[in-house]
Amino acid sequence: MMHRRRQKCSGETIMKSIALLHDRSNGLGGGFAAYGIYPELPDHYALHIMAYSDVAQRRTQEYVQQHLLVEKAEPIPTRAHPGVVDPPLLWRYFVLPRPADLPEGADEADVMIRHVMTINETIEGAFVFSSGRNMGAFKAVGYAEDVGRFYRLDEYEGWTWIAHGRFPTNTPGWWGGAHPFTLLDWAVIHNGEISSYGINKRYLEGFGYKCTLLTDTEVMAYLLDLLVRKHGLPMEIAADALAAPFWKVIDRAPEHQQELLRALRLVYGPALVNGPFAIIFGHSRGMVGFNDRIKLRPMVAAEHGDVLYIASEESAIREICPSPDRVWTPKAGEPVVGWLEGEGQPQAAAAGTQVAASTA
């Protein structure tokens, strides 16, 4: 859920919504991401880190203090909950890159990604599970509503919230493998399976990304960063690359669209995401949802005033918004794109059929 005018609500609302979908998960993973929750330090990167030993926590702290400017460091506030057991050590650091790491022309975001990847790859038992500005991810092994209580999300207020309850089928149920998966301000939740994980992973490694969290959804966060931030693709065009139409569909498209769609398939073939999936991702400018190109996983969208909702089931929306102004089921591969007021507006859709939710 996203409020276009940045009106905040507490995590209580999204916890009520995801609790209705309790039976969609099995207690092996739940999580949330929220935007606008750190207004006191909005320009600092908030590193949320889990460590599975005192040694891992100490080594991570030493790395952060050595390589980054630390404004604030503290344990992530939690409360004991019987549905969330054996937590790792949970810390957050509000940081900025050191000026020495930013020679002329250097990209601050690339510097931060390098530090995140280094911690995840080289410090055994430590993982950065959130690294954006004025946002944070909160995840654990447990049912989503219990995870929200554990992290005291009723005490946070944000303008965009996403939530996920996990039912892992072919990857481990562990704290780092719970959704959302994040990188900088990207936060991705996913229903389904990414059968193209192997080729997606190899493609991303060619650009310096490291997949270390043992769950297929991790590639989605990195693909979005690569296509949208690094390559500058509009959201809708990136969706056409990730959930590309079949060749036979491209052949039937209007001539003026075929050239672009063919180019996306040829250039971004290794970024094509195969398998049944529905994906919602938040970012600093808004929220987007889309599903696979033959719609093997459900996704419903709704609007009420300035609020955009996307969920796997309409009931989850109506639980917190009983009378939406509009409810619709997006077509296969068609993104629902919501923009915060004053942020970049949607570009023309590649396939000519996509509608931006914030301007519909």
Tokens representing 284?
């600093």
AA letter at 141: V
Give the global pTM. Answer: 0.93
Stretches in the chain below the pLDDT threshold 50: 346-360
Helix residue spans in the chain (DSSP H): 11-19, 54-67, 108-122, 144-150, 197-205, 218-224, 235-242, 247-252, 255-267, 314-318
Nearest C-alpha neighbor of 85 from the set 170, 147, 15, 128: 147
| Domain tally, the chain | 1
Domain containing 163 — which CATH number? 3.60.20.10
Instruction: Report yes or no: 145 and 13 within 8 Å, Cβ to Cβ.
Output: no
Query: Phi, psi at residue 121, to the nearest 5°?
Result: -90, -30
- The Cα 188–Cα 287 span in angstroms is 10
Residue 332, helix vs strand vs coil: coil
Helix residue spans in 68-143 (DSSP H): 108-122
Residue 227, helix vs strand vs coil: helix
pLDDT tens profile 119-162: 999 999 999 999 999 999 999 999 999 999 999 999 999 999 99
Domain of 298?
A: 2-359
- The Cα 60–Cα 193 span in angstroms is 32
Cα dist. 28→147, 210, 351 in Å?
11, 24, 38
- The Cα 356–Cα 301 span in angstroms is 11
The neighbour count for residue 144, using CB atoms within 10 Å, is 29
Tokens representing 128?
């950065």
